[in-house]
Each structure stands twice: as C-alpha cells, then as structure tokens.
Structure 1
Amino acid sequence: MRLDWGLRRSGGEAAQNLNMNFAFGRPRLLVPQKFSVSRRLFTRMNGTTWSVEKAIPEELKEQIRRAKDQQDTTLAFLSFLNILRSLKTTKRTGWLNFNVENPESIADHMYRMGIISMMTQNVQVESAKCVKMALVHDMAEALVGDITPEDPVTKEDKHAREASTIEYIRDLLEPFNSKAAQELYTLWHEYENLSSPEARFVKDVDKFELLVQTLEEERRYKGEKDLSRFIGVRKQIQTPEVCKWADMVLAQRDEFWKSVTKLS
C-alpha cells in the first residue's frame, strides 16, 4: 500500500502544517528519513531495470529452476512459501522512515487485517472472502518491497511491478494447486481495482489498521514521537462500519495527546 500523509488533530483542531512532536513541551520537527524502504528493492537490482526474475533471492533461483525442469509441483509450492518468507521479515517502510524501532512487518499488517475482516457485521460483504483478500493484497511486496510515495518509483511502475509479481506467483503455484493460484491472482486484481464490495471494505480496513498501529506506536514512545502524518488516511475511509471504528481510534488518540500535554 501507499501510505498517505495527514495531520494530527488535537482538541478538535487541525495541527499545523508541520509535523511537530509536543512531548515534554518542546516541539520539534519529525522529518521522515528518505529512502529507508527495504534496500533489497534497489540494491538487488544493481542499477538495472527491475524484473521479477532479478528480484528473486539468489538462493531460490536454482530451486525454482529445478522445480520447473523436473515438474516437481511440491518443490514449486515450497518455493512459493520461501518467497513469502520476506513478508515476515520486511519491516514496513513508513515506520522505518520515522525511526520506529522494531516496527511491524508486512505480514504483521496483513495478519491483523485478516482478523479485522473476520469481525465485520456488514451483511453486504462476505467475511471469508475479505479475510482471504486481506492476506493477499500485499503479497507482491515479497519481491517488490514496501514502496512509499517518497521512494524513487512512480505509482504506475509500482503497480506494474506488483502485477507482474502476482502473475509470476500464480504461474509458479499453478501446477501444485491451480484453483488456489487463480484465486490469489483474482483476489489481488479485485482489490487493486476496487471492483467489489469486499475490495472496498478491505481497502478501508487497510487504512484503519494503519490508524490503530499509529496510535500504538505513539503510546509505545509515550508521546516522544508524533506520527501525525499517517492520520490523513482517515479521510479516505468510506465504509460506514470502518468509519465508526476509525473515529473511535482518533478519539482515543485525542485523549492520549491531551494526557501527554498535561504531563509536559
């Protein structure tokens, strides 16, 4: 996902156009570190044009080649799982840019999105489908990396890289389980195109989970980090149910920052 930037609201008023840290009564600028995106995204390419094949870890290339040559479908499945490993180890770039220590991984984010999707009471969406979509929506980042608007990759290029990655994953997994492979592919495109009620709901859950994580990180740092620039995603949420959840988080956040101000 692309993390959009917003402003912290405190006491019902919009914060100033600068992202300030008000801890201990001494405001200071919090400037995101540029290009902290997982270096695998750029360094693995050695300045060459990006491609799925070049993005695959060297230790996996021979294994995948052997699986294809020998038509070993189980080895292909294992290779698919090995590719996904980086989702567990790659930290989300937005937090790295703000020097958040030991931040969540891409897989952490998707897992909680899946749990949130189970909680919906919206009869207009199929919960099970939403859970699957939540677990798939950032799968391409296993090879593409977690690209943010501050990184030197255009939105169009980012989408093209992710689309080619999902196609590669589908083709790799297809001999082992063609139905599941096609489902992953279809769910990803459905999410990207927002072509169903489930896709629109999961897109909102994506933003909501970011709000939850933002407040958690601010609490963890006891007000020493003001992560206001992530709060702007609230205005992108449209589903009434998720809007209600998001407003609850923002209300909790206002209370937190009021308590920090009192202690300063």
Structure 2
Amino acid sequence: MTTEMPKFFEYMKFIGNLKRVERTGWVRHNVKHPESVAEHMYRMAMIAFALPSDTTLDKDKCIKIALVHDVAESIVGDLTPSCGVSKADKSKMEEASYGLLLVPESPWLPHIVFCIDLLQEYEYQTSPEAKFVKDVDKFEMIFQALEYERAEGRHGELEEFYVHTAG
C-alpha cells in the first residue's frame, strides 16, 4: 500500500460521513427516517443529470456542484437558521472545513482544489450553473417535504419548507 492510500481512505471517510448526517429540518420536525445529506445531494445530482442535452448550462458542472455543495456538512453538520448560527458564521465554518481536505503533496490535491472551487462558486453564486443548482436545492427540499407529508399523512405540517424556499 502506498503512503497516499491512508490519505485517500481519510478522504473517503470524510465523504462517507455525509451518509450519516441527517438533514436538520426533517429531524426538527420529527420526520420518520429523515434523509441524509448524501441522499439530498444525490437526488440533486440526478435532477441536474436529467437536464436536456440542448441546455445552455454546463450539465456536467451542474452535476458536480450538486454533488459537492453540502460536503462541508460532513464536519460542521447541517446548520440551519434554527440552529442559531448566522449565515456569515456558517459560511466561515464551512470554509474552514475545506482546509481539512487540503493535504499537501496528495495526488488528489488537484481534485480537492477543483471541488473547493465549485463550492465557492456555489456559495457566491458566480455562475449560471451555481444559480441553477441553488434552485434545484430549493426544489428538492420542497419535493422532499411533499413526499414526507404524503407518506406520513401530515398534510400541511411541513409548509415551512415551502415558504422558506420563496424567492
């Protein structure tokens, strides 16, 4: 085994944590079997994957942004306004977590830097693809709320999630 393999396993553990981080809003509303951050990002990526081939957006970039947009939650958790953390503090915490991925001389460093570039593009909404993925993020949350309401017979109980996405 090369010395780089333990670093790769560390990276995979970091990504794997997303499968165990439950989405805070669903937990707060006592949803049975709340989705994980990984499940949320996967469905977002599949929505982007469904873009028609004649779109003016860079489809591959949309998929990649969707797959990485919440990766910091592996470390900081799924922070929502109800957690009492300001948007500015949340942003600082997430950006600090990116530094944990930057392992000098790692063969995966270019990949990690690329992911961080995509994260910042999403955070600051600097491209049409980032803006589209932000809309997909909102849409996925609305769709998930609707699924939970129907599955659990909770009509209208998750309205907060519909209202939260306005704008």
- Greater helix proportion: 2
User: Aligned equivalents of 1:195 and 1:79: distance in 2?
Assistant: 30
Shift of 1:83: 1.5
User: Aligned equivalents of 2:163 and 2:120: distance in 1?
Assistant: 25
Contact 1:90-1:105 within 8 A present in 2 as well: yes
Normalising by structure 2, we get a TM-score of: 0.92
Unaligned runs of 5+ in 1: 1-70, 237-264
User: Aligned equivalents of 2:104 and 2:43: distance in 1?
Assistant: 25
Q: In the alignment, what sits opposite 2:22?
A: 91
1:148 to 80, 104, 122: 80
* Higher relative contact order (Cα pairs below 8 Å, separated by 6+ residues): 1
Equivalent pairs counted in the alignment come to: 165
User: Aligned equivalents of 1:84 and 1:172: distance in 2?
Assistant: 15
Write out the 4+ residue segments of structure 1 that deviate beyond 6 Å after TM superposition.
Answer: none
2:86 aligned with 1:157, yes or no? no
Shift of 1:221: 1.1
Overall identity of the aligned pairs, in %:
39
2:150 aligned with 1:232, yes or no? no
Amino acid at match of 2:49: M
Contact 1:211-1:231 within 8 A present in 2 as well: yes
Contact 2:103-2:109 within 8 A present in 1 as well: no
Question: Structure 2 vs 1, CA of residues 225 and 194 (structure 1 numbering), >3 Å: closer, same or farther?
Answer: same
Q: In the alignment, what sits opposite 1:124?
A: 56
Question: Structure 2 vs 1, CA of residues 174 and 214 (structure 1 numbering), >3 Å: closer, same or farther?
Answer: farther
User: Aligned equivalents of 1:84 and 1:202: distance in 2?
Assistant: 20
User: Aligned equivalents of 2:105 and 2:43: distance in 1?
Assistant: 27
Q: In the alignment, what sits opposite 1:46?
A: none
Shift of 1:178: 2.6
User: Aligned equivalents of 2:104 and 2:156: distance in 1?
Assistant: 42
CA RMSD of aligned residues (A): 1.7
Amino acid at match of 2:68: V
Q: 1:19-34 to 2 correspondence within 5 Å? A: none
Contact 2:125-2:131 within 8 A present in 1 as well: yes
List per-residue Cα deviations over 1:8-29 (Å, max 9, x = no partner): xxxxxxxxxxxxxxxxxxxxxx
Shift of 1:167: 2.6
Unaligned runs of 5+ in 2: none
User: Aligned equivalents of 2:105 and 2:148: distance in 1?
Assistant: 40
1:202 to 133, 150, 153: 133
User: Aligned equivalents of 1:223 and 1:182: distance in 2?
Assistant: 43
Shift of 1:220: 0.6
Question: Structure 2 vs 1, CA of residues 213 and 153 (structure 1 numbering), >3 Å: closer, same or farther?
Answer: same
Contact 1:130-1:198 within 8 A present in 2 as well: yes
Q: In the alignment, what sits opposite 1:104?
A: 35
Contact 2:61-2:129 within 8 A present in 1 as well: yes
Question: Structure 2 vs 1, CA of residues 224 and 166 (structure 1 numbering), >3 Å: closer, same or farther?
Answer: same
Shift of 1:234: 4.3
Question: Structure 2 vs 1, CA of residues 134 and 222 (structure 1 numbering), >3 Å: closer, same or farther?
Answer: same
Question: Structure 2 vs 1, CA of residues 76 and 86 (structure 1 numbering), >3 Å: closer, same or farther?
Answer: same
